[in-house]
Amino acid sequence: MPVFGIGIDLVSVARVRAALERYPERFRNRVFTPEEVRFCETLGDKYPSYAGRFAAKEAFSKALGTGLRGATGWTEIDVHDNERQRPTINVTGRAEKILAGRQVHLSISHLPDYATAIVVIED
């Protein structure tokens, strides 16, 4: 399997929680898709899941080689999981064009204080 890119990110759950509490609508709408918000809001402790998705988006943008400053947008990256299967990433817009059909592998892990994600994109 030739590798196009690898990305990893580590996020403080408290930092994501603070942003969600201080700017609830603005932060959610800027960073997360409606599907991600619906999923996270069903959980008893939603903040680790929000942080995991944040880390996954950062890791994906690193693996793609674009970052999240203009080349792709936060909501063009949609992280899916239902706690019964491994998480997946769906992309739209500019991210989809740059990804060009390549296979994406994602792993997310979180503890009460930190969330991490790693992304591998096959070439």
Is the domain spanning 3-122 CATH 3.90.470.20? The answer is yes
Using pLDDT thresholds of 50, 70 and 90, give the confidence band for residue 68: confident
Higher pLDDT, 69 or 86: 86
Q: Which residues partner with 116 through β-bridges?
A: 10, 109
What is residue 83's three-state secondary structure? coil
Q: Name which of 111, 40, 110, 26 is nearest 79 in CA terms.
A: 40
Give the residue extent of every domain in the chain: 3-122
User: Does residue 110 carry a catalytic annotation?
Assistant: yes
Catalytic residue among 46, 57, 62, 97: 62
Using pLDDT thresholds of 50, 70 and 90, give the confidence band for residue 23: very high
pLDDT value at residue 90: 96
pLDDT value at residue 82: 65
Predicted TM-score (pTM) of the model is: 0.94
Using pLDDT thresholds of 50, 70 and 90, give the confidence band for residue 70: confident
Give 3: exposed, middle or buried? Use CB within 10 Å, 0-12, 13-18, 19+: exposed
